[in-house]
Amino acid sequence: MAALRAATYFLKFMEIDYIALFVSDVARSLIFYRDILGFRFDKPAKPDGVEGYSGRLKIGIYDRSWLPKLFGDRGKQMISGNPFLLSMTVDDLDQVYQQICDRQLSIQESMLGDIISPPEVMPWGQRILFLSDPDGNILEIVQSNPNP
């Protein structure tokens, strides 16, 4: 019982500080996350990956060729579906939505992701914008204050 309490205590103070996305095209994903969503990338991208920031969260964008190098045979399995949702919070969802739309129009690059649904109020009261990145991963952008 004491071990369980110690584990619970430890987990309360754990936070995610890094996320890695394994993508089919690093350059295309960099354009999406940097130029469309405004993430910060301080170093130039290499063909097999790049790391940057969304606020304090560090994000790595890596070519899928890394998967078998990191995970052996498990990394060779076919990737399909949307196994996760990346969620971000903003103060002004309408402004961010307009900026994303404007940026998508100004970039002459095909397949930069899609708006799945414009900002709308969910049944539980949150205002959320759903979109996808170039690899089809689902992202949500949430209004931090439900009454802007």
pLDDT at 98: 92
pLDDT band, very low/low/confident/very high, at 108 (cuts 50, 70, 90): low
Backbone angles phi, psi at 60, to 5 degrees: -110, 135
80 confidence band (pLDDT: 50, 70, 90): low
Q: Mean pLDDT check: name the lowest of 15-24, 29-38, 73-82.
A: 73-82
**Cα–Cα distance, 46 to 44 (Å, whole number):** 7
Q: Which CATH class is domain 2-143?
A: alpha beta
Token representation of residue 121: 């109020």
Sign, CA torsion 38/110/112/78: negative
In the chain, what percentage of residues exceed pLDDT 90?
Answer: 44
pTM of the model: 0.76
Alpha helices in the chain (DSSP H): 2-12, 26-30, 66-71, 93-106
pLDDT exceeds cutoff 70 at 6:
no
Residues 6+ apart with CB under 8 A from 131: 100, 113, 114, 115, 116, 138, 139, 140, 141
Domain-wise residue ranges, the chain: 2-143
